[in-house]
């Protein structure tokens, strides 16, 4: 493959950026849902996820 | 927009309803996004042919073009949220704008970085002050300005207003980005895919590119939706804690 370092760096960058945002969003939702349920368990069962 | 459609807009702006609907929609965004993005990238990297002039460096297109599309598309989303906030006082528009900002900035940075990685072997330079590159760099700074502005005030509402003004002013940069390759004699190549004309690339390269664009777009939508869900819940937490503090 020609220009391998440039192609590999581009793909690695895309995967790292995508994974970082996906994991951050998932953790943030999970943390908020748990905290909400701890504060008001009766009213806030639904939004978990 | 008619008053009826404005009302329906507000119906879906109810935070509780948003959490319910987005919770159901999110898997249908996230799973296809993952499958299409990984499938499209593998297709582009291992199956699609190399370019007869650029060789394998052309495979960077499968990241660069979707990132560029989402950099502009994300900013358009930001501007639409600003408009919804100003005109209809949409309760979720400001939160959506705040959550779109960092994701859009990341995709703009990815577009610039992959452009550099493509430019170095093709042009012999990491960066040139070409109209397309410079206008995308301006877009990146607009995103950074928006991120900073919405967090710069003690009162969130003031930050949202300032950010919305910047988002609406900055939208003028989008046609400049789009038409920069036509208006000026740029080193950057003209658009490969246009709405009116036939694409200037072979179908064996076009299909993986379209799959990547769709996958990246669904991924962008999934991440923004998840961040917005978190933001809505965090706002509810703040409200509940405030109510508890005032009640005690």
pLDDT number for residue B201: 79
Contact B79, B104 (CB under 8 A): no
What is the gyration radius of the CA atoms in chain B, in angstroms? 20
Contact B212, B64 (CB under 8 A): no
Contact of B118 with chain A, judged by CB distance below 8 Å, is answered with yes
Q: Which residue has the higher pLDDT, B186 or A14?
A: A14
The band of B86, judged by pLDDT with boundaries at 50, 70 and 90, is confident
pLDDT number for residue B2: 57
Exposed (0-12), middle (13-18) or buried (19+): which is A12, by Cβ within 10 Å? exposed
Please state which of the ranges A34-43, B168-177, B237-246 shows the lowest mean pLDDT.
Answer: A34-43
Provide residues of A within 8 Å CB-CB of chain B.
Answer: 1-4, 6-7, 9-11, 13-14, 17-18, 21-22, 25-26, 28-29, 31-33, 35-36, 39-40, 44, 46-47, 49
Contact of B17 with chain A, judged by CB distance below 8 Å, is answered with no
pLDDT in tens, A3-31: 899 999 999 999 999 999 999 999 999 99
A6–B60 CB contact, under 8 Å:
yes
pLDDT in tens, B108-118: 999 999 999 99
Q: Considering only CB atoms, which chain B residues are within 8 Å of A2? A: 50, 55-57
Q: How many beta-carbon contacts under 8 Å exist across A and B? A: 101
Report ipTM for this prediction: 0.88
pLDDT number for residue B188: 83
B56–A4 CB contact, under 8 Å:
yes
Q: Can you give the three-state secondary structure of chain B, one letter per residue?
A: CCHHHHHHHHHCCCHHHHHHHHHHHHHHHHHHHHHHHHHHHHHHHHHCCCECCCEHHHHHHHHHHHHHHHHHHHHHHHHHHHHHHHHHCCCCHHHHHHHHHHHHHHHHHHHHHHHHHHHHHHHCCCCCCCHHHHHHHHHHHHHHHHHHHHCCCCCHHHHHHHHHHHHHHHCCHHHHHHHHHHHCCCCCCCCCCCCCCCCCCCHHHHHHHHHHHHHHHHHHHHHHHHHHHHHHHHHHHHHHHHHHHHHC
Contact B115, A13 (CB under 8 A): no
Name the token pair of B177: 């980005």
A13–B110 CB contact, under 8 Å:
yes
Partners of residue B55 on adjacent β-strands: B51
What is the rounded distance in angstroms from the CA atom of residue B112 to the CA atom of residue A47?
A: 37
Res. A47: pLDDT tops 60: no
Tell me which residue of A21, A26, A31, A25 sits closest to B237, measured CA to CA.
A31
Min distance B99 CA to chain A CA atoms (Å): 10
Global pTM?
A: 0.90
């Amino acid at each position: 493959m020609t220009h391998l370092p440039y192609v590999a760096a581009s793909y690695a960058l895309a995967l790292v950026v995508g994974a970082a945002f996906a994991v951050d969003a998932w953790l943030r939702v999970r943390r908020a849902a748990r905290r909400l349920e701890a504060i008001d368990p009766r009213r806030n069962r639904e939004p978990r996820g | 927009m008619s008053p009826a459609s404005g009302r329906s807009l507000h119906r879906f702006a109810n935070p509780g309803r948003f959490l319910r609907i987005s919770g159901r929609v999110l898997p249908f965004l996230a799973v296809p996004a993952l499958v299409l993005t990984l499938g499209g990238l593998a297709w582009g990297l291992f199956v699609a042919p190399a370019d007869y002039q650029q060789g394998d460096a052309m495979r960077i297109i499968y990241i660069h073009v979707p990132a560029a599309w989402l950099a502009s598309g994300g900013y358009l989303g930001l501007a639409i949220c600003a408009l919804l906030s100003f005109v209809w006082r949409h309760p979720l528009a400001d939160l959506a704008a705040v959550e779109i900002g960092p994701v859009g900035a990341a995709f703009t940075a990815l577009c610039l970085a992959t452009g550099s990685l493509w430019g170095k072997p093709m042009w012999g330079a990491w960066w040139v002050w070409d109209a397309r590159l410079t206008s995308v760099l301006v877009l990146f700074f607009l995103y950074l300005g928006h991120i900073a502005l919405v967090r710069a005030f003690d009162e969130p509402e003031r930050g949202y207003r300032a950010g919305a003004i910047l988002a609406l002013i900055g939208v003028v940069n989008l046609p400049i980005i789009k038409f920069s390759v036509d208006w000026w004699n740029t080193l950057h190549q003209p658009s490969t895919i246009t709405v009116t004309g036939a694409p200037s690339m072979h179908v064996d390269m076009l299909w993986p590119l379209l799959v990547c664009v769709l996958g990246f777009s669904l991924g962008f939508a999934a991440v923004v939706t998840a961040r917005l869900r978190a933001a809505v819940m965090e706002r509810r937490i703040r409200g509940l804690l405030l109510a508890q503090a005032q009640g005690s």
